[in-house]
Structures are given as structure tokens and as C-alpha cells.
Structure 1
């Protein structure tokens, strides 16, 4: 074992990971195809906050009892033998580009902590302090210097809708830089890109302020920030954000225009869907096209308060999947796949579609304090489906298998740690990668095992 691996083992110990984990990762990494390493130059994460019902979307159980299989039928796809829900008709015709991981599993049934698993790969900490959390893999890319130009290296879309549906997404763990420090937090956009007045404040220069006047303001801010940098990492992060905002305000239209969706033909906007999620996905494509390495698109806070919100279908599971959720997701996901392929970007862009967990095997089954109505499903981390597409991913393929009730993996269980290790592999982050935390200590960011079976 090399000196680097011994250092790595010490870093792992800080987070409760054993020396055996090091050896396991080292051995498994040797089996993963080198051809797929670093194939992804960029990544779009479509996060279906709330937990989609896997058995009503990607992993149908037509032979199970009615209370398990639910109300929907399965349909054929363009891959023989691979079948999904009837309410994903467009996706069914593009299944040859998708890799379904039907055996995802973890032990957490709480929305705001389970997100930590799927955004970082690691279990959530016992504290709500976001600086104690593991960093989102977008923050790791930021730390490694990925990205180019004035645009930030990591952007998070969280469109805020009017109404009384709570903004649970704001409380979700794992969406920031955690112990890497605020310097690598994402640019978070809560504006709704489907609205006519959509704008990102940091990129709009008021007409009464000249570039020269802005330059003088920037220099004064920089002087103040430099004096304060030594007191807190928050000041350093604020200084960096000021510089990025200034660069965007004074950059060429190719950078600043990334947030102007009106530059897109109406037919393209309609293809994604003239709704908050569809336009957020289009915004993500415009950002990665201009050099942003990682964009997370969270599902917006839609639905009916205390009944069915986001993909959290405690009641109205089948009504909402059929009308509010699946048609919108079907349109946006396939528009993105087609758009990336037409632009020659799909072969080096990784697309991920996932929620934080799945839903209970039986309709009406209770597994959390929220419970489930007679037409709903409760939270379930025991088994669910995540989907990959694009750079280095094996298309037209289903990995793993759930049991007859879609309750637990029956074959090839996949932990979030290994899924995210696969993402890191595709993004060119080696399994021995160390980064410095905000306190200057080396930390290992990829303790999982890349899954070779998912890679082309």
C-alpha cells in the first residue's frame, strides 16, 4: 500500500470509515472500466423531492396483489423486455438511453435528512449544522477548480411557487458544501423561470449604474473583504461571490445571457414544458452548455398542503402521478435528452433522475408519522429506483432487482455511497481523491465503490 493510501485511510477514520473500506474500494476500482473514467464533463441532477413511488413509475409489479401493484399498467419500451409505467410514454421511447438502478436502498425515511444520502452519498450527520454535513458532489467539483468563465461552477435551481405548500427543500441536508466551507456553496436560484419576470438578480446591471461606477464599488468591497478574510471563511466566500457577480455583470452576453430563457425559440421552451420544472431543466441545459459543471434541479413546491406535495404522495398518489407529476417529468426529461443529443452533448453530459427514497410497498401502508391515505403511499427507503443517462452510462439497461412487492432489493443492492462513487468516477474524480476541509484538514470524498455494471 502506498503512502497516499495510508494518508487516505487516516482521513477515512475521521468519518468512521474503516481500513477495510479502503482496501475494498481499491480492489473494486481496478475492475471498473478505465474507458468511462472522466467521460462526463458536466452533470445535471434532476431531483424529484418528496420520493417518487418506484412501483408506480420505473419498477412495476403487474403480478402483485392490487394493494401492491396499484392502479397503473406497464407498457413496453424501445428496449425489449424492459417495461415501465404507462404514464411515461415519451421516456418509454428513449429507454435505450437510460440506465435504471432498481435496487437502491438505505435506512432513512425522513425527507430532509434522506436527501443527504442522494446528494452526497453519505449518511446524514446527527446535527442540523450544515457545516457538519458532507459536501454535495457539485461542491467537490467547485473545490477541485472545475468550471470556466464568469459563471459559478455549481448552481442549484429551487423554484419557489406561490401558495401555502411548505418549502421543505430549503431544510434538506446535503445541498451545500458542508465541511468544505461556504466558498463552495452553490449559486441558489429560487426564482421561477416559467414566469415572465424571471431574472437572477446577480446578473442584471441596473441601467443607471455604469461599468466604471460598478468597478469603483467592486474595488471598495474587495478592500473591505480582504481585511475581513482572516476572521471567517464566510467573508472569503462573500468576497468570491462579489467577484463572480461583478464578472457576470460585465461579461459578454454569452455568459450573462445564460439566464435569459427568452433567447430560446418558443418551440424549444414548449418542448420542455411551460411550467416551473420544465423551464428549470431548460435553464440547467443553458448553464452546462456555457461551462457550468454541475446543476441541481429540485422539484418545485407544488401540490396540496397536508395532502400531497412535491412527489410526496401520502394521499392522491395515483391522481397526482397521472396528472400533476409524471406528465411534467416525462416531458422535461425527454426534452433534455433529445436536446443534449441534438447538440452533441449527451455523450459527455451525465444526467441523473432520482428522489431521496421510494414509497411503501402497499397502498395505505403507514411507515412514518405522516402516514398514508387509502389512495396514498408513505415514505420508504428500503428500495427505490434512480436513473442515469449520458456520458459513460450503459443505456437500455436495468441494474438490480426488487422483490415481488418492491419492498427490498432481491438482487444487487446499491447503497447511495456506491451510486455517488459511480458519479464521481464518470466525472473524473479518482477514488483516492483528497480535499481540504474548511479547517485545513485533508478529507477523502469518495469512500464508495463505483459500479462497473452501470458503465458502458
Structure 2
């Protein structure tokens, strides 16, 4: 099909010469060194200390959630109605009643756009700011924002600086989230990979690894094991690759510190939360994952990604990937727990004095087709479904110095293409980095020592309070 000119934001000269585009444009080492000499902007003051990234994997339908088109033909507008919010002039879906009353805290971007229709590679674009490079493996990916923060030394030991929640559901095959690119440290090296939690935090037996001493183990015995492991690592360094050993040693050291301090057991023990709070988030995998994220950032973890779990019907409607059952699943399975968890998080952060220093990002990897039953990928869509649609979708920001109570950008009358202020993922990621005080045009070396610009995008000034 013919693609809209809004699909991909044009490359600026600054983007082209920056080292951040090196992997994509094939720049030589002399060009990289020249790029290093570019004038650097001073690091902006950090307005946010942490990010909670609520990733609605699968692609929420913009027409059913944040960008309804009540005046469009029936095959476009669908079944849902818009409702007024606590901000005059802004409407959202009737199935977001809690968020509608917190819209004064939200910046709704209705003009997100890129050109990748594939879940596992489009995810890369949203998590890193860069489009996926065909044929690349996970280690060649651009680094996730959390990995960059870890590399910069953000966070407080002994908790890991970068955590991702991926609750494993019974029979969730295929496990698309696990196959998605951009969720790890990529070329920064495995040292900066996240702690990945696949356990379900809504279950009574929820545990994260073994962050408690086994029966009969003393702190002294644990320290002895740590010293022995350190001696073995020193000897093996002479025989194996230093990079991989360094990463492994760092992970082992953090695990020992977690065990010795008890911080892990405390941070991951949701039973310490009052029942009222747990109920507010929702006693489901997503709601409790969001609560777990709040507990982690409260203790100094700078970034937590919460992936939506595979809680749907295999090959019909899984995650937010509603090729069929689009309306019934948005109404019953998807939007109520998303509405509850996001709203509870906003209230909880506010009550704890964390809202202004915590940036919350709600997004998927793309949206859904304007027309019900329209085909735009190999997966297609049923008579009651919408296919993949990266040309226009919605992302939402809150807290962390973001100016709430506004809509940025606009889509056309069918929510098909941006007509005002199109936003490419690189500029969304640049906005997140800006709020965290990460310098513009920050360069970090890859495993070969080549300096690469992490994010050549430009922050969205209207969103920054």
C-alpha cells in the first residue's frame, strides 16, 4: 500500500553526521572521530530520577483508547464512545473512566509515527529510539534506555539499575515479548542487561530468584563463597574473554550483595504492601507488576519496564494484538486493568511525593488499522479486529517534569496519519533522556570502543514544563 509522508520523520543533517546513526548509515572510523568533535550541549538539569515504562505490547488501538473518532463512518469509529475528562476539551474512551479523571496529569501524544509493522522489531524503535537493523541479533541491538542509565552509573546498590517485568502466563505460546528487540543492552554489552522478572507478582508464591539466604547459611559463609568465586574469576580471566567474564562477575557480585543485605527480599516482597494498595492496582499480573515497579523506583532503581502479559486467546487476540475480538477484549480484558493500574500508580506516586521525580510512559509499539477488518500485515484481521498500524498511534507521558493536561499532535479524521506535529520514536526517547538529565548527543563506546551517539533526537519542548 502507499505509505503516508508522515510515516518517518526526515533525517536532519545533525542526525546524519552524528555517531548515533553510525550503525545504520555505515560511517567509517574517521567519520566517527569527526562526529566526536561536534559541539556538545550541556547536560540538562534532571527533572526526573526514574522512569516507569508501561509497555502495552501488541499495539493498542488508538481509536478505542486515546484518540476516538465519533464522527467517522462506523467501520472506522468502532463501538466505543468518547467521554469528557477533568480537562475541558480533552476526551478519551469510555473504558478509561479512571484515567479520564486524571487527565490533568497526562500529556497525550496522538501523532506517534514510524514505518515498522512487525511487533518484535517495532518494539526496538520505541525502547531505543532507533529503527531495527535487519538481521541484527540482540547483542547488535541499540541499547534500551535502562541499559544506558545503568552504564551511566544511575541507581543505588545493591538493587539492579535496570529491571523489566515480563510475567509468564500459563500456555503463553508464542512468547512474543521474549523475542522482541531493544529490551536489552545490545552493543553496550551484557553487563548492562536488565534483571528480568518472569514470575507472576499476583500469585501467593511470587518470588524473584533466591533473594534470601538458604536455611543454615550464615553471612560469613556467604562471604566466603563470594571470595572463592572472586579468586576463580581472577584465574579464569587469563583463559577466557574478559568482557563476558566482567559482565558475569558484576552480576554475581550484585546477587551476593542482594543476599547479604536483604534488600532484595524487601524490595520484592509485595506482601508488605497494604491490601488496600494492592487492590487499587488490581490483583492481576499487570497491576501487581506496576506496583512492583513503584516499589523498585522508590528504592532507587532508575528504570523499570513493565510489559503487558500474554493473557489472551492464542492465535486470536493475545496481548493488545487484537486481530480479532478487538472490541470485546479492549472492553473486558485490556482496558479495565490498564485503566486501574495506571490510575493507581499516578495517585500512589502523588501521595508518596514521587510524582514530580518519576516519569511514567504508557505506550505500545504501534497502533491498529483505521478500518475494522483492514489488512496491513501478514497477520491480517478478522471481521471484528484491527491489524497492525505504525503510521499513527498514541503514547502518553505523566510526571517527571512533564506538563500534564494537554494533547500534543493530532491525527486525521480516521486516526490514520498525523496531521499536526508528527512524533518519531527518536524524539520521544530524546524527551525521556532530557527529563532524566542525560546530555544531548551523549556518546558511549560499544564493545569495540567505537563512540556512538545514543540518541540524536530532539526533546518535545511543548511537553516539558
TM-score range, shorter chain: over 0.9
Q: CA offsets per residue over residues 205-246 of structure 1, 9 Å max, x none?
A: 211222222212111211222333461422211111110011
Q: Distance in 2 between matches of 1:378 and 1:13?
A: 30
Instruction: Tell me the SS of whatever aligns to 2:348.
Output: helix
Residue 43, structure 1, aligned to residue 60, structure 2: no
State whether structure 2 residue 217 is matched by structure 1 residue 233. Answer: no
Query: Which of 59, 68, 83 in structure 1 is aligned with 2:67?
Result: 59
- Residues 158, 297 of structure 1: 8 Å contact kept: yes
Aligned counterpart for 1:133 among listed residues 127, 134, 141: 141
- The match for 1:123 is 131
Residue 462 of structure 2: aligned partner? 453
1:248 aligns to 2:227 (yes or no)? no
CA distance in 2, matches of 1:273, 1:67: 33
Aligned partner of 1:316 among 319, 325, 349: 325
SS of the aligned residue for 1:388 comes to strand
Contact kept, 8 Å, 1:193 with 1:276, in 2: the verdict is yes
Shift of 1:11: 2.5
Deviations 1:105-152 (A, max 9, x none): 000000000000100000001124111110000000000000012000
- Shift in CA distance, 98/244, structure 1 to aligned 2, threshold 3 Å: same
d(CA) in 2 for partners of 1:389, 1:282: 16
Indicate the residue corresponding to 2:226 in structure 1: 218
Deviations 1:292-318 (A, max 9, x none): 000000001110001000000000000
Partners of 1:277 and 1:207 lie apart in 2 by: 32
- The match for 2:77 is 69
- TM-superposed deviation, 1:9: 4.4
The structure where helix makes up a greater share of residues is 1
Partner of 1:363: 372
Q: Does 1:15 align with 2:20?
A: no
Identify the residue that residue 261 of structure 1 maps to in structure 2.
270
Report the Cα offset of residue 166 of structure 1. 2.0
- The aligned runs of 1:167-186 (5 Å cut-off) are 167-186=175-194
TM-score of the two chains, using structure 2 as the length reference: 0.91
Tell me the distance in 2 between the aligned counterparts of 1:434 and 1:294. 20
The Cα shift of 1:12 comes to 3.8
The Cα of 1:436 is off from its aligned counterpart by: 1.6
1:397 and 2:406 matched: yes
| CA RMSD, 1 decimal | 2.0
For structure 2, the 5+ residue unaligned runs are 1-13
Distance 1:126 1:347 in 2: 39
Distance 2:432 2:370 in 1: 28
Give yes or no for contact 1:358–1:381 (8 Å, CA) kept in 2.
yes
| Structure 1 residues without counterparts, runs of 5 or longer | 1-5
2:358 matched to which residue of 1? 349
Out of 193, 196, 210, the position equivalent to 2:204 is 196
Quick one: structure 1 residues 9 and 220, their matched pair in 2 at CA, closer, same or farther if it must change by over 3 Å?
farther
Q: Does 1:440 align with 2:449?
A: yes
What does residue 104 of structure 1 align with?
A: 112
Kindly state the Cα deviation for residue 394 of structure 1 after the two structures are TM-superposed. Answer: 1.0
- How far the C-alpha of 1:194 sits from its partner, in A, is 0.5
Deviations 1:326-370 (A, max 9, x none): 000000000000000000000010000000000000000011111
2:10 corresponds to which residue?
none
TM-score (norm 1): 0.93
Q: Structure 1 residues 14 and 294 mapped into 2: Cα distance closer, same or farther (>3 Å)?
A: same
Q: How does 1:352-431 map to 2 (within 5 A)?
A: 352-431=361-440
Report the CA distance between 1:13 and its aligned residue.
Answer: 5.4
